[in-house]
Chain A
Amino acid sequence: MSQPPLDRRDLLKWATGLGMSFAIPGLDLRAAERRGEERPRSLITLWLSGGPSQLETWDPHPGTKIGGPTQAIATSTPDVKIASSFPRLAEQMHHLSVIRSLVSKEGDHERATYLVKTGFRTDPTLRHPSVGAIVAHALPNKRLEIPPVISLGYDNHLSRGGFLGGRFDALRVRQPGSSENDMRAWLAEPRQQRRLSNLDVVTQAFTRGRKVVVDRTMHVQNLDAALKMMNSDQLKAFRLDDEPEAARTAYGDSNFGLGCLVARRLIEQGVRAVEVTLQNFDTHNNNFGQHNELATSLDPAFAALLEDLHERDLLASTVVLCLGEFGRTPKINGANGRDHWPAGFSCLLGGGNLRSGMLLGATDPTGERKTPEDPIPIPDLYATVLKGMGIDPTHQINTSIGRPIRYSDGTPIDRLLDG
Chain B
Amino acid sequence: MTTKRYRFSRFFNIQPSLFAAKRISLVVADYYRADRGDRIQFRIKLLMNAPKHLLLPTAFALAILCLVAWVAARPNIISYHSETTEGGKDVAMAADQVNALLQETWTDYSIEPAAGADDLQVYRRLALALVGTAPSLEEIRRFEADPSPDRLQQWTTRFISDSRFVEYFAARLGDAFVDPVAEDLKPHQRERFRRWLGKSLQQGTAYSEIAREMIAAHGVFADRPATTFVSLELSLGDQAAERLAARTSRAFLGQRIDCAQCHDHPFAEWTQPQFEGLAAYYGQVQFRDARVQDTHSRPFVIEDDRAQEERTVAPEVPFDSQWISDGKHLRAQLATWVTHTENRRFRRAIANRVWGLMLGRAFITPVDDLPDPSSPDDPDVLDVLATDLANHGDDLRRLIHVIVATRAFNLASTHEALEDEESAQQHEEAWAVFPVTELSPQQMFRAMQQAAAVKTLRAENANTFSAIRRYEQQDRFVNDYGIASDAEDAQASTIPHTVQRLSGNFTRQLSNATLLTAPGRIAVMSTDATTCLENCYLACLSRRPMPDERKHFLPQFAGNLNRRANAVEDVYWTLFNSAEFCWNH
Contact = CB atoms under 8 A, between A and B. Distances in A.
A110 B181 contact: yes
Contacts of A204: 548
B302 interface: no
Contacts of B105: none
Given A210-B418, A213-B424, A213-B436, 18 more contacts: A124-B246, A124-B368, A147-B495, A158-B483, A160-B483, A167-B494, A194-B556, A201-B552, A205-B548, A208-B414, A211-B418, A212-B424, A213-B413, A219-B582, A219-B583, A226-B502, A229-B499, A230-B499
Contact of A172 (B412, B413, B480, B495): B480
B183 A108 contact: yes
A227 B502 contact: yes
Nearest to B235: A108
B441 to A, nearest CB: 12
A284 interface: no
Nearest to A182: B503
B144 interface: no
Given A110-B181, A172-B480, A212 B418 contact: yes
Contacts of B246: 124
Nearest to A207: B579
Interface in A167-210: 167, 169, 171-172, 183-187, 191, 194-195, 198-199, 201-206, 208-210
A225 B420 contact: no
Given A212-B418, A213-B413, A217-B493, A202 B499 contact: no
21 contacts: A108-B237, A124-B368, A127-B486, A171-B496, A172-B480, A184-B503, A187-B503, A198-B552, A198-B574, A199-B577, A201-B548, A204-B548, A205-B546, A210-B436, A212-B424, A214-B579, A217-B438, A222-B495, A223-B577, A226-B495, A230-B502
A217 B494 CA distance: 10
A201 B575 CA distance: 11
A289 interface: no
B101 to A, nearest CB: 24
Interface string B491-506: 1011110110011000
A169 B494 CA distance: 8
A222 B493 contact: yes
A51 B460 CA distance: 41
B435 to A, nearest CB: 8
A275 B412 CA distance: 45
B419 interface: yes
* 3 shortest interchain CB distances as A-B pairs: A209-B414, A166-B491, A226-B498
Contacts of B585: 206, 210
B572 to A, nearest CB: 10
A335 interface: no
A243 B93 CA distance: 71
A404 to B, nearest CB: 15
Contacts of B564: none
A246 interface: no
Contacts of A186: 503, 508
B575 A202 contact: yes
Nearest to B570: A195
Contact of A202 (B368, B416, B424, B549): B549
Contacts of B494: 166-167, 169, 222
Given A108-B237, A124-B246, A230-B503, A202 B574 contact: yes
B489 A194 contact: no
A225 B415 CA distance: 29
Interface in A242-296: none
A418 to B, nearest CB: 35
A185 B503 contact: yes
B366 to A, nearest CB: 8
A218 interface: yes
A198 B486 CA distance: 34
B183 A110 contact: yes
Contacts of A172: 480, 496
Contacts of A227: 502
Contacts of A212: 418-421, 424
B361 interface: no
Contact of A201 (B183, B250, B421, B549): B549
A167 B495 contact: yes
A202 B570 contact: no
A239 interface: no
A106 to B, nearest CB: 11
Given A108-B183, A213-B436, A199 B421 contact: no
B529 to A, nearest CB: 15
A222 B236 CA distance: 40
A220 B495 CA distance: 11
A205 to B, nearest CB: 5
A203 B502 contact: no
A132 B570 CA distance: 37
A30 interface: no
A94 interface: no
Contacts of A220: 579
Contacts of A166: 491, 493-494
B418 A213 contact: yes
